[in-house]
Amino acid sequence: MAKVKIVTDSNSGITQSEAEKLGISVLPMPFLIDGEEYFEDINLTQTEFYAHLKGDASVSTSQPAIGNVTELWEGLLADGSEVVHIPMSSGLSMSCQSAIAQAKEYGGRVQVVDNLRISVTQKQSVIDAIKLANEGKSAAEIKAILEKMGRDSSIYISLDTLKYLKKGGRLTPAAALIGTLLKLRPVLQIQGDKLDKFNSTVKSVKKAREVMIDALRNDLATRFAEYRKNGEMTISVAHTDSFEEAQSFAEELKAAFPDVPLTFIDPLSLSVACHIGPGSLACTCTRVLK
Q: Which residue ranges make up each domain of the chain?
A: 4-29+64-149, 153-287
Report helix, strand or coil for 66.
Answer: helix
pLDDT score recorded for residue 184: 63
Report helix, strand or coil for 107.
Answer: coil
Q: What is the DSSP letter of 65?
A: -
CATH 3.40.50.10440 matches 4-29+64-149 = yes
Rounded-to-integer distance, Cα 82 and Cα 1, Å: 10
- Mean pLDDT, the chain, integer: 89
pLDDT score recorded for residue 92: 76
pLDDT score recorded for residue 5: 98
- The answer to pTM > 0.85 is yes
Rounded-to-integer distance, Cα 102 and Cα 63, Å: 14
For residue 220, with 0-12 CB atoms within 10 Å meaning exposed, 13-18 middle and 19 or more buried, which class applies? Answer: buried
Distances (CA, A) of 62 to 32, 69, 94: 7, 14, 9
CATH 3.30.1180.10 matches 153-287 = yes
Report angle CA 116, 49, 73 to the nearest 5 degrees.
Answer: 45
| Cα Rg of the chain, angstroms | 19
Q: Where are the alpha helices (DSSP H) in 182-280?
A: 205-221, 225-229, 243-256, 270-276
Of the chain, the percentage scoring pLDDT greater than 90 comes to 72
pLDDT digits (tens, 9 = 90+) for 90-111: 877 788 999 999 999 999 999 9
Blockwise average pLDDT, block size 10, the chain, 290 residues? 92 95 96 94 94 92 92 97 94 88 96 93 96 97 96 92 60 39 69 70 84 96 98 97 96 98 93 87 94
pLDDT score recorded for residue 200: 59
**Cβ atoms of residues 110 and 73 within 8 Å:** yes
For residue 23, with 0-12 CB atoms within 10 Å meaning exposed, 13-18 middle and 19 or more buried, which class applies? Answer: exposed
Angle 66-77/95-103 helices, nearest 10 degrees? 50
pLDDT score recorded for residue 205: 83
For residue 233, with 0-12 CB atoms within 10 Å meaning exposed, 13-18 middle and 19 or more buried, which class applies? Answer: buried
pLDDT score recorded for residue 286: 97
Chain center to CA of 70: 22
Amino acid at 175: A
Rounded-to-integer distance, Cα 31 and Cα 21, Å: 25
Sheet holding 30-33, edge to edge: 36-39, 30-33, 59-61
Containing 123, the helix (H) or strand (E) segment is helix 120-134
